[in-house]
Structure 1
Amino acid sequence: MIEQVFKIEGAIKVKKRGFGIVERYQGQGLTLPKRSTKQAAGYDFAAAEDFALPSIWKSGFVKLFWQLKHGTPLKDEDYVQANKVLKPRLVPTGIKAYMQEDEVLILANRSSNPLKRGLILPNGVGVIDADYYNNDQNEGEIFFQLVNLGVRDLVIKKGERIGQGIFMPYLKSDQDDGGTAERLGGFGSSGR
Structure 2
Amino acid sequence: MTRGFEIVSKYRNAGLNLPYRTTKRAAGYDFESATDFTVPSIWKLDFLKVLWAIRHERAVDDVQAQKAKRILKPYLVPTGIKAYMGDDEVLILANRSSNPLKRGLVIPNGIGVIDADYYNNENNEGEIFMQVLNFGLADVHLKQGERIGQGIFMNYLLADEERQPQAERQGGFGSSGK
Aligned counterparts of 1:190 and 1:174: Cα–Cα separation in 2: 22
Shift of 1:66: 2.0
Partner of 1:157 in structure 2? 143
Please give the residue correspondences for 1:27-42 in structure 2 after superposition, counting only pairs within 5 Å. 27-42=13-28
- Report how many residues are paired: 178
Question: Does 2:103 correspond to 1:112?
Answer: no
Partner of 2:71 in structure 1? 85
Question: Does 2:99 correspond to 1:103?
Answer: no
Unaligned 5+ residue runs, structure 2? none
Partner of 1:191 in structure 2? 177
Which aligned runs of 4 or more in structure 1 are off by greater than 3 angstroms?
Answer: none
Question: Does 2:54 correspond to 1:50?
Answer: no
Shift of 1:162: 0.3
Q: Give the aligned residue type for 1:171.
A: L
Q: Give the aligned residue type for 2:102.
A: K
Partner of 1:26 in structure 2? 12
Aligned counterparts of 2:123 and 2:161: Cα–Cα separation in 1: 31
Query: TM-score when scaled to structure 1?
Result: 0.90
Please give the residue correspondences for 1:129-140 in structure 2 after superposition, counting only pairs within 5 Å. 129-140=115-126
Shift of 1:71: 3.3
Aligned counterparts of 1:26 and 1:87: Cα–Cα separation in 2: 29
Superimposed CA distance per residue, residues 132-165 of structure 1 (whole angstroms, 9 cap, x where no aligned partner)? 0000000000001000001111111100000000
Partner of 1:10 in structure 2? none
Shift of 1:116: 0.9
Which segment is superposed worse, 131-140 or 77-86?
A: 77-86
Aligned counterparts of 1:150 and 1:41: Cα–Cα separation in 2: 27
Which segment is superposed worse, 61-70 or 95-104?
A: 61-70
Shift of 1:178: 2.8
Shift of 1:75: 1.2
Query: TM-score when scaled to structure 2?
Result: 0.97
Q: Give the aligned residue type for 1:52.
A: T
Unaligned 5+ residue runs, structure 1? 1-14
Shift of 1:78: 1.6
